[in-house]
Structure 1
């Protein structure tokens, strides 16, 4: 069975690398991007990922702008998102469900549980 692919989008190299290490240890294939624009470029080059872990506050193109661009592209709509943010109150109203967000600092046990649920 082919490993499920997760795109991790975060401008913080340490957080990006930590998520990558934890997810790979769980058997996931991980692709990374440093901002929303880079993530869009990556998505147009790789097979559709099973999940996107998305930081909201990033330079160049933030998570909000990325989400809007993703929903405007018919090839990218419907990919599940899990928001990763230090600003939980700013994410209120995002249509990802009660378990659609994890706050920083990251609880990696919870992250794995949410990823498994989203990729089921």
Structure 2
């Protein structure tokens, strides 16, 4: 018998096969997850824009108009949402691309429901619990709000545009609010296919501080832990 998760976590399932959506939704809901479904990548993005980011996405590969890989590339321009690919595509080349560039895990259809739950739990266990409410706009405190899908922040009532890299960096730090995120982890998550150096990360942190901090030289949100990494602190 499947045990329920201790707190409700959101899972977004994107697949153009309605039968698969029903099976996955039923399986996850029985295990205690809150599930939303979309029959296309475009619909999945609309759900994210309307309701905010999920804790995890389960994504098919071959879908009309927007493939699963394209969907992953899009959401990873503004977040680091973990993805499990669930697809009938089982060539070695496709699986390798999926695992190296887009997803935390890869399952081939047809799938075994208990195995899916086990993989979902394993992926979520590796990701820290999101500190803030998962809504379309994340309120950090009275002066700072962040809309990750739109890649923008509201700072003291003023709208500020963020680059994809700045948004993803901020998402990872906010998701781990109050905890130190190592430099190595940030480099691997932001530039997974590149040999990025620490100086490159410093440049983006500096630019991001310039956009959201009241005094970038005395930051209160993004704090450096010398020789280790960065942490995000709210003023609530």
Task: Tell me if both proteins adopt one fold, taking TM over 0.5 as the criterion.
Answer: yes
Q: Which runs of 5+ in 1 are unaligned?
A: none
CA distance in 2, matches of 1:20, 1:109: 13
Match of 2:24 in 1: 19
Task: Work out which of the two has the higher radius of gyration on C-alpha atoms and give 1 or 2.
Answer: 2
Following superposition, the deviation at residue 62 of structure 1 comes to 1.3
Please report the RMSD computed on the Cα atoms of aligned residues, expressed in angstroms.
1.4
Name which structure has the greater RCO, CA cutoff 8 Å, separation 6+. Answer: 1
CA distance in 2, matches of 1:16, 1:110: 16
2:82 paired with 1:61: no
CA distance in 2, matches of 1:88, 1:37: 24
CA distance in 1, matches of 2:82, 2:18: 23
Could you give the per-residue CA deviations for residues 48-74 of structure 1, whole angstroms, max 9, x where no partner exists? 2110000000112110111121222x2
TM superposition outliers: structure 1 runs of 4+ over 6 Å: none
2:112 paired with 1:111: no
Q: Normalised by the size of structure 2, how large is the TM-score?
A: 0.47
CA distance in 2, matches of 1:5, 1:23: 10
CA contact (8 A) 1:4 1:119 kept: no
Match of 2:84 in 1: 82
Task: Pick one of 90, 93, 97 that aligns with 1:93.
Answer: 97
Matched pairs, number = 115
User: CA separation of 1:47/1:69 partners in 2, compared to 1, >3 Å: closer, same or farther?
Assistant: closer
CA distance in 2, matches of 1:19, 1:80: 17
CA distance in 1, matches of 2:43, 2:107: 22
CA distance in 2, matches of 1:107, 1:24: 15
CA distance in 2, matches of 1:119, 1:35: 23
CA distance in 2, matches of 1:41, 1:2: 25
Following superposition, the deviation at residue 7 of structure 1 comes to 0.2
Q: SS of the residue aligned with 2:35?
A: strand
Q: Which runs of 5+ in 2 are unaligned?
A: 1-5, 126-236
Task: Pick one of 99, 107, 129 that aligns with 1:102.
Answer: 107
